[in-house]
Structure 1
Amino acid sequence: MRSVTDRLIQGSVWLSFSRAIVNGLSALSTFILAWYLAPSDFGLVAIATTIQIILSSVTDLSLGQALIRHDSPSEVHFSAVWTLSVTRSAILGLVFAAGAYPIAEFYNEPRLIGVMFALSFSLFMSGLANPRRVMLQRDLIFWQEFVLNVSQKLVGFVVTVAIAAIYQSYWALVIGTLAYQVTNIIVSYTVLPFWPRITFRHARELFSFSLWLTAGQIVNTLNWRVEYLLIGKWLGAAELGHYTVGNTLSTLPTREATAPLNQTIYPGFSRVRHDPVRLTAAYQRAQALLAAVALPAGIGMAVVADPMIRLALGEKWVPAIFIVQSLASVFALQTLGSLVQALGMAKGQTKLLFIRDSQMLVTRVPIIIVGLLLAGLPGVIYARVLTGLISTVVNMLLVKRLIGLAFFQQLAANFRALVSVALMAAAVWGLSHVLSTPTDKAALTLHLAILVITGGVIYVGSSFVLWLAMKRPNGPETEVQRIVVKFLSKAKRIAVAKSA
Structure 2
Amino acid sequence: MKQPSDPALGKSTSSRTSALAVGATTLLASSLFRQVLGLITLIVIARLLSPTDFGIAAYFLIATAFLEMMQRQISMVLIRIDDVTQDHLSTVFTFQIILGIAAALLFYTTRPLFPLIGLPELTQLAPVLCVLSLVIALRSPRFILFERKLRFIYAAGEETISRVVYAIIAISMALIWRDFWAIIAANFCALTTRSIWTFSMAPMTMRLSLKRWHDCFSFSVWSTGAQIAQFFSKNMPQLIIGATLGLSDAGVFRLGNRLSTLVTTQLFAPLQRVLYPGLADISRNSDRQDEAFNRLNELLLAIVLPISVGMALVANYLVIVVIGWQWLGAAQVIWVLAPLKALETLQENVRSASYVEGSTKLLFIRNFFLLILVCLLMMVGVQFNFMGALAAAGAASTAAIFTTLLIAKRYGTRTFFGPITVAWRSIVSTLVMIAAVFFVDSAIGNQDQIGWAFNTLDDLPLLRYRFAVKVLIGAFTYTGTHFLLWYLVKRPEGFESLVLKLAKKIRTRVLNPNAKKHGTMES
**Under TM normalisation by the shorter chain, which class is it?**
over 0.9
Q: Among 37, 41, 54, which residue is 2:53 paired with?
A: 41
- CA deviation after TM superposition for structure 1 residue 75, in Å: 2.4
Measured in 1, the distance between the counterparts of 2:299 and 2:270 equals 11
- CA deviation after TM superposition for structure 1 residue 46, in Å: 2.1
Measured in 1, the distance between the counterparts of 2:222 and 2:32 equals 33
Q: Among 29, 32, 43, which residue is 2:41 paired with?
A: 29
Stretch moving more, 138-147 or 59-68: 59-68
Q: Structure 1 residues 202 and 61 mapped into 2: Cα distance closer, same or farther (>3 Å)?
A: farther
CA offset digits 1:290-325 (Å, max 9, x no partner): 110110121121112111100122111111110011
Q: Among 396, 415, 440, which residue is 1:406 paired with?
A: 415
CA offset digits 1:252-306 (Å, max 9, x no partner): 1112443354220111111122578400111111110111011012112111211
Q: Does 1:470 align with 2:489?
A: yes
> Secondary structure, in 3 states, of the residue corresponding to 1:100?
coil
CA contact (8 A) 2:319 2:327 kept: yes
- CA deviation after TM superposition for structure 1 residue 53, in Å: 5.1
> Secondary structure, in 3 states, of the residue corresponding to 1:72?
coil
> Could you tell me which amino acid in structure 2 is paired with residue 218 of structure 1?
I
CA contact (8 A) 1:50 1:228 kept: no
The 5 Å alignment of 1:379-398 reads 379-398=388-407
- CA deviation after TM superposition for structure 1 residue 460, in Å: 0.7
The 5 Å alignment of 1:226-265 reads 226-265=236-275
Measured in 1, the distance between the counterparts of 2:471 and 2:144 equals 37
Q: Does 1:355 align with 2:365?
A: yes
Q: Does 1:480 align with 2:499?
A: yes
CA contact (8 A) 1:43 1:239 kept: yes
In structure 2, the residue matched to 1:451 is: 470
CA contact (8 A) 2:412 2:419 kept: no
- CA deviation after TM superposition for structure 1 residue 442, in Å: 3.5
In structure 1, the residue matched to 2:5 is: none
Unaligned runs of 5+ in 2: 1-12, 445-449
- CA deviation after TM superposition for structure 1 residue 402, in Å: 4.2
Measured in 2, the distance between the counterparts of 1:14 and 1:404 equals 29
> Secondary structure, in 3 states, of the residue corresponding to 1:416?
helix
> Secondary structure, in 3 states, of the residue corresponding to 1:62?
helix
Measured in 2, the distance between the counterparts of 1:308 and 1:20 equals 19
In structure 2, the residue matched to 1:283 is: 293
Q: Structure 1 residues 104 and 175 mapped into 2: Cα distance closer, same or farther (>3 Å)?
A: farther
CA contact (8 A) 2:237 2:393 kept: no
In structure 2, the residue matched to 1:216 is: 226
CA offset digits 1:354-396 (Å, max 9, x no partner): 11112212322212221221x2221122122223223223212
CA contact (8 A) 2:71 2:137 kept: no
Measured in 2, the distance between the counterparts of 1:83 and 1:56 equals 16
In structure 1, the residue matched to 2:201 is: 191
CA contact (8 A) 2:260 2:334 kept: yes
Measured in 2, the distance between the counterparts of 1:9 and 1:106 equals 48
> Secondary structure, in 3 states, of the residue corresponding to 2:112?
helix
The 5 Å alignment of 1:17-416 reads 17-50=29-62, 62-109=73-120, 111-273=121-283, 277-373=287-383, 375-402=384-411, 405-416=414-425
- CA deviation after TM superposition for structure 1 residue 433, in Å: 5.1
CA contact (8 A) 1:54 1:225 kept: no
> Could you tell me which amino acid in structure 2 is paired with residue 195 of structure 1?
T
> Could you tell me which amino acid in structure 2 is paired with residue 78 of structure 1?
L
Alignment RMSD? 2.4
CA contact (8 A) 2:74 2:95 kept: no
> Could you tell me which amino acid in structure 2 is paired with residue 208 of structure 1?
S
In structure 2, the residue matched to 1:494 is: 514
- CA deviation after TM superposition for structure 1 residue 400, in Å: 1.3
Measured in 2, the distance between the counterparts of 1:487 and 1:300 equals 27
Q: Among 21, 26, 29, which residue is 1:9 paired with?
A: 21
Measured in 2, the distance between the counterparts of 1:336 and 1:182 equals 31
Measured in 2, the distance between the counterparts of 1:337 and 1:183 equals 29
Q: Number of aligned pairs?
A: 497
Identity %: 27
> Could you tell me which amino acid in structure 2 is paired with residue 23 of structure 1?
Q
Measured in 2, the distance between the counterparts of 1:401 and 1:315 equals 47
CA offset digits 1:6-56 (Å, max 9, x no partner): 322221111112101211121111111111000011112223444565677
TM, length-normalised to structure 1: 0.93
> Could you tell me which amino acid in structure 2 is paired with residue 26 of structure 1?
G
Measured in 1, the distance between the counterparts of 2:116 and 2:141 equals 37
CA offset digits 1:167-190 (Å, max 9, x no partner): 101100111111111111222222
CA contact (8 A) 1:232 1:239 kept: yes
Measured in 1, the distance between the counterparts of 2:165 and 2:418 equals 45
Q: Structure 1 residues 5 and 212 mapped into 2: Cα distance closer, same or farther (>3 Å)?
A: same
Measured in 1, the distance between the counterparts of 2:516 and 2:402 equals 52
- CA deviation after TM superposition for structure 1 residue 403, in Å: 5.2
CA contact (8 A) 1:13 1:260 kept: no
Measured in 2, the distance between the counterparts of 1:414 and 1:251 equals 20
- CA deviation after TM superposition for structure 1 residue 427, in Å: 1.8
CA contact (8 A) 2:169 2:186 kept: yes
- CA deviation after TM superposition for structure 1 residue 61, in Å: 7.8
Measured in 1, the distance between the counterparts of 2:169 and 2:507 equals 41
Measured in 1, the distance between the counterparts of 2:397 and 2:45 equals 28
CA contact (8 A) 1:11 1:260 kept: no
Unaligned runs of 5+ in 1: none
CA offset digits 1:215-237 (Å, max 9, x no partner): 11222122122222321221111
CA offset digits 1:191-244 (Å, max 9, x no partner): 222232122221221111111111112221221222223212211111111111
